[in-house]
């Protein structure tokens, strides 16, 4: 009997108008596990993460957080989001606030943590991710890699049950990707539970315990990264990986 | 160099025109200026006071209406409709008509407790008129903030109203600073419309002087006083406008 998963996605469907983006997704993320969702652009990876964080309403199915359904209309969405952290492809830092204010806003306003305490913890986290001395800079003064690490710290600062990472390296210059992946590795080694949408196969292979291949809104295959990424069973997965390989991204 | 030639040419043209001596006597009489200036300045001080109070009311009213219009909750639909109707109606009526309607209409109701002071009535008319404009300026600013900002605010656990207050509104207000100030320059000038209710502000004072002396110099005095306020305001708009390109904080 396996312990209860932190996140359980069960039969989730989602359409935008006529276009069905997710066709019945089933997926589990266990405690301290990292699940990577791979797939082409437009396969529904981002939508899946947004549905889990309740930024999109799902049409059918359920999402459970620690065994409780969170997608029922009666559930307090704000309370659910406070237990999850989401990091965006485009960072989405708050440009009018400096780095430390970005990091503590959620803790102070949503979690009622005293500001001094939140700031101290924020500074420790920034320091840990190589951002000490940047507390008073504004996001525009930072490189993309630094901004994304601030965004990671912001999502992690309120000690979420799980982190949802949406293509966190896709907007970065190649030489800046490494620092962000190091930060994610660091969080993983600390035992953070993560659901990761990614294009970085090397990273998925290294960090993920499970890799799911999403194609046209369906999970076509999933399993340990060495199996899914090295000897995929489905022709769609093989084609996808071959294309990535020829593009030099695998 | 060429601009000096053009301006000099124009000046020469005006100064040598057949009517210039008359114009100079009736519009630029130093004597008439000196005589009328204290009265006009006193009237202008009233303009400034009305302007400041109305501006503050407009800033708050416009924000409240903009927030009502941009609210998302289904339960707030009546509020959204009310706000939309308010903007449509009061933005669609010329301010001068609003001043007439409020200034003469409300006292005509003869209801107890309603204001009868023309200064207050005129201020109300300007406030509801400009409130509608400013609401739309705020709304445009709110709409211009990328939706990723709202997503990020919700993702860190803020409520919709906290996201508005701490994330969206601070950015939106910064962005609409220049257009807001532009509206305030208009407002500062439109305060003169209150004169039609018989309020003795700068324009009215100048008009009375001009009518009794058959000399229009008092109106020039009033114009000069307006410029003393509107030109510095315009420079502030420039400053802020430049700042937006280079990141305001």
Tell me, what CATH number does B236's domain have? 1.10.3720.10
Pairwise CB contact (< 8 Å): A92 & B151: yes
* Secondary structure (3-state) at B205: helix
Pairwise CB contact (< 8 Å): A106 & B159: no
Structural domain boundaries, residue A221: 7-93+163-246
Q: Please give the angle made by the CA atoms of A101, A103 and A107, to the nearest 5 degrees.
A: 95
Across all residues in chain A, what is the average pLDDT? 92
pLDDT at residue A108 greater than cutoff 60 = yes
Cα–Cα distance, A28 to A195 (Å, whole number): 9
pLDDT tens per residue, range B100-159: 999 999 888 888 888 889 999 999 999 999 999 999 999 999 999 999 999 999 999 999
Cα–Cα distance, B108 to A160 (Å, whole number): 63
Note the pLDDT of residue B153.
97
Query: Has residue B151 been placed in a domain?
Result: yes
Q: What is the DSSP letter of A122?
A: H
pLDDT at residue A248 greater than cutoff 80 = no
Query: Has residue B158 been placed in a domain?
Result: yes
User: Would you give the distance in Å from CA A43 to the centre of its chain?
Assistant: 16
Query: Has residue B7 been placed in a domain?
Result: no
Q: Which among A54, A47, A53 has a CA at the least distance from the CA of A20?
A: A47
Task: Provide, as residue numbers in chain B, all residues whose Cβ is less than 8 Å from the Cβ of A88.
Answer: 148, 151-152, 155
Structural domain boundaries, residue B215: 29-245
Residues of A with CB under 8 A from a CB of B: 50, 53, 55, 78, 81-82, 84-86, 88, 90, 92-96, 105-106, 109-111, 138, 140, 154-155, 158
Note the pLDDT of residue B245.
43
Note the pLDDT of residue B49.
93
Sign of CA dihedral A68, A78, A218, A229: negative
Pairwise CB contact (< 8 Å): A92 & B156: no
- pLDDT-derived band at A2 (thresholds 50, 70, 90) equals low
Residue pair B99/B125 in contact (Cβ under 8 Å)? The answer is: yes
Residue A248 backbone dihedrals phi, psi, to 5 degrees = 75, 25
Of the partner residues A53, A105, A155, the one whose CB lies closest to the CB of residue B166: A105
pLDDT tens per residue, range A186-231: 999 999 999 999 988 888 998 999 999 999 999 999 999 999 999 9
Cα–Cα distance, A241 to A15 (Å, whole number): 27
- The residue of chain A nearest to residue B165, with distances taken between CA atoms, is A109
Pairwise CB contact (< 8 Å): B158 & A158: no
- The residue of chain A nearest to residue B249, with distances taken between CA atoms, is A96
Closest-CA distance, B179 to chain A, in angstroms, reads 19
Query: Has residue B12 been placed in a domain?
Result: no
Query: Has residue A153 been placed in a domain?
Result: no
Could you tell me the mean pLDDT of each successive run of 10 residues in chain B, 249 residues long?
88 88 86 86 91 96 95 89 95 93 90 88 95 96 95 96 95 90 90 89 88 88 90 82 48
Mutate to test the interface with A, among B157, B163, B246 (most CBs of A within 10 A): B157
What is the value of pTM for the model shown?
0.85
Note the pLDDT of residue B233.
84
Q: How many CB atoms lie within 10 A of CB A114?
A: 10
Note the pLDDT of residue A202.
85
- Name, in order, each residue with C-beta under 8 angstroms of B206's C-beta and a sequence gap of 6 or more: B36, B40, B43, B218, B219, B221, B222
Pairwise CB contact (< 8 Å): B155 & A93: no
Number of domains chain B contains: 1
Where helices occur in A95-200 by DSSP H, the ranges are 99-110, 115-128, 144-156, 174-189
CATH of the domain at A225: 3.40.50.300
Query: Has residue A138 been placed in a domain?
Result: no
Residues of B with CB under 8 A from a CB of A: 148-149, 151-159, 162, 166-167, 170-171, 174, 247, 249
Number of domains chain A contains: 1
Element (H, E) at B77: helix B77-91
- The residue of chain B nearest to residue A159, with distances taken between CA atoms, is B156
* Secondary structure (3-state) at A33: coil
DSSP B164-186: IIIIIHHHHHHHTHHHHHHHHHH
Q: What average pLDDT score do residues A148-153 get? A: 94
Task: Provide, as residue numbers in chain A, all residues whose Cβ is less than 8 Å from the Cβ of B174.
Answer: 96
Query: Has residue B10 been placed in a domain?
Result: no
Closest-CA distance, A90 to chain B, in angstroms, reads 8
The structure tokens listed for A135 are 């507390």
């Amino acid at each position: 009997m396996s312990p209860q998963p932190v996140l359980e996605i069960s039969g989730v469907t989602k359409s935008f108008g006529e276009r069905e983006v997710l066709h019945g997704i089933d997926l589990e993320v266990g405690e301290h596990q990292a699940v990577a969702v791979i797939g082409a652009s437009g396969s529904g990876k981002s939508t899946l993460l947004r549905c889990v964080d309740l930024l999109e309403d799902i049409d059918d199915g359920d999402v459970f957080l620690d065994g409780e359904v969170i997608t029922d209309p009666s559930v307090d969405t704000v309370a659910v989001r406070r237990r999850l952290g989401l990091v965006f492809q485009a960072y989405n830092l708050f440009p009018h606030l400096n780095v430390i204010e970005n990091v503590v806003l959620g803790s102070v306003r949503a979690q009622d943590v005293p500001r001094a305490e939140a700031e101290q913890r924020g500074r420790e986290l920034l320091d840990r991710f190589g951002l000490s001395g940047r507390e008073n800079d504004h996001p525009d003064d930072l490189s993309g890699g630094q901004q994304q690490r601030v965004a990671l710290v912001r999502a992690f600062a309120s000690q979420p049950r799980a982190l949802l990472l949406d293509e966190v390296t896709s907007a970065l210059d190649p030489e800046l990707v490494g620092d962000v992946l190091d930060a994610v590795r660091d969080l993983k080694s600390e035992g953070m539970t993560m659901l990761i949408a990614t294009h970085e196969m090397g990273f998925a292979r290294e960090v993920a315990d499970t890799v799911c291949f999403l194609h046209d809104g369906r999970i076509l295959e999933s399993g340990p990264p060495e199996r899914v990424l090295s000897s995929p069973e489905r022709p769609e997965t093989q084609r996808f990986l071959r294309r990535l390989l020829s593009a030099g991204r695998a | 160099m060429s601009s000096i030639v053009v301006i000099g040419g124009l000046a020469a043209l005006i100064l040598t025109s057949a009517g210039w001596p008359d114009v100079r006597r009736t519009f630029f009489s130093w004597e008439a200026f000196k005589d009328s200036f204290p009265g006009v300045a006193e009237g202008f001080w009233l303009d400034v006071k009305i302007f400041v109070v109305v501006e503050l009311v407009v800033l708050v009213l416009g924000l409240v209406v903009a927030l009502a219009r941009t609210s998302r909750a289904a339960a707030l639909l009546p509020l959204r409709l009310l706000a939309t109707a308010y903007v449509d109606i009061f933005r669609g009526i010329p301010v001068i008509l609003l001043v007439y309607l409020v200034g003469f209409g409300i006292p005509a109701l003869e209801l107890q407790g309603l204001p009868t002071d023309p200064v207050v009535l005129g201020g109300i008319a300007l406030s509801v008129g400009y409130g509608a404009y400013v609401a739309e300026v705020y709304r445009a600013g709110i709409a211009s903030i990328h939706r990723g900002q709202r997503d990020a605010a919700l993702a860190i656990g803020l409520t919709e109203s906290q996201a508005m207050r701490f994330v969206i509104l601070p950015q939106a207000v910064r962005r609409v600073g220049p257009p807001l100030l532009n509206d305030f320059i208009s407002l500062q000038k439109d305060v003169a419309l209150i004169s039609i209710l018989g309020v003795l502000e700068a324009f009215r004072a100048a008009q009375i002087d001009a009518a009794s002396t058959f000399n229009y110099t008092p109106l020039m005095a009033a114009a000069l006083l307006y410029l003393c306020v509107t030109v510095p305001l315009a420079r502030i708009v420039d400053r802020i406008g430049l700042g937006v390109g280079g990141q305001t904080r």
